């Protein structure tokens, strides 16, 4: 029962994401529209071993890409650009 609910929610999330990409509405600035690569968090450790929080941001570019046959501006990480997952307009 729980697995069916998870897969249904996952499917709805994918549909919503494709809707956002299709209609030109970005989800977030620091997140790839195709692979959902986003900000990751960790701890910075100095030489004296003092610890403080930090975050790593992905290399996101705003490019014109062909989405469902029409050019749209989307936020895409450079790995998706390099791997050819995005067709530039």
Domain harbouring 52, CATH code = 2.30.170.40
Q: Where are the beta strands (DSSP E) in the chain?
A: 40-45, 51-56, 60-67, 70-77
| Among 6-10, 62-66, 82-86, the least confident range | 6-10
Domain count, the chain: 1
Per DSSP, 10 falls in state H
The pLDDT of residue 42: 97
User: What φ, ψ does residue 48 adopt, rounded to 5°?
Assistant: -85, 10
Average pLDDT over residues 65-88: 93
Higher pLDDT, 8 or 30: 30
- Residue for token digits 């990480």? 77
- Has residue 89 been placed in a domain? no
Asked, for residue 88, whether it belongs to a domain, the answer is no
Per-residue pLDDT tens for 1-27? 555 555 666 676 666 666 655 555 554
Per-residue model confidence (pLDDT) at position 20: 59
Give the SS3 label for residue 88. Answer: strand
Q: What range does the domain containing 77 cover?
A: 2-83
Pairing of strands 60-67, 70-77: antiparallel
Tell me whether residue 13 is in a domain: yes
Q: Is the per-residue pLDDT at 64 higher than 80?
A: yes
Mean pLDDT of the chain: 83
Query: Is residue 59, in this structure, part of any structural domain at all?
Result: yes
């Amino acid at each position: 029962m729980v697995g069916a609910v998870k897969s249904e929610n996952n499917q709805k999330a994918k549909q919503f994401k494709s809707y956002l990409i299709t209609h030109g509405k970005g989800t977030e600035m620091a997140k790839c529209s195709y692979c959902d690569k986003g900000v990751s968090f960790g701890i910075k450790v100095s030489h004296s071993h003092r610890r403080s929080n930090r975050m790593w941001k992905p290399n996101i570019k705003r490019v014109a890409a062909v989405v469902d046959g029409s050019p749209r501006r989307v936020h895409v990480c450079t790995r998706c650009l390099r791997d050819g997952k995005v067709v530039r307009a």
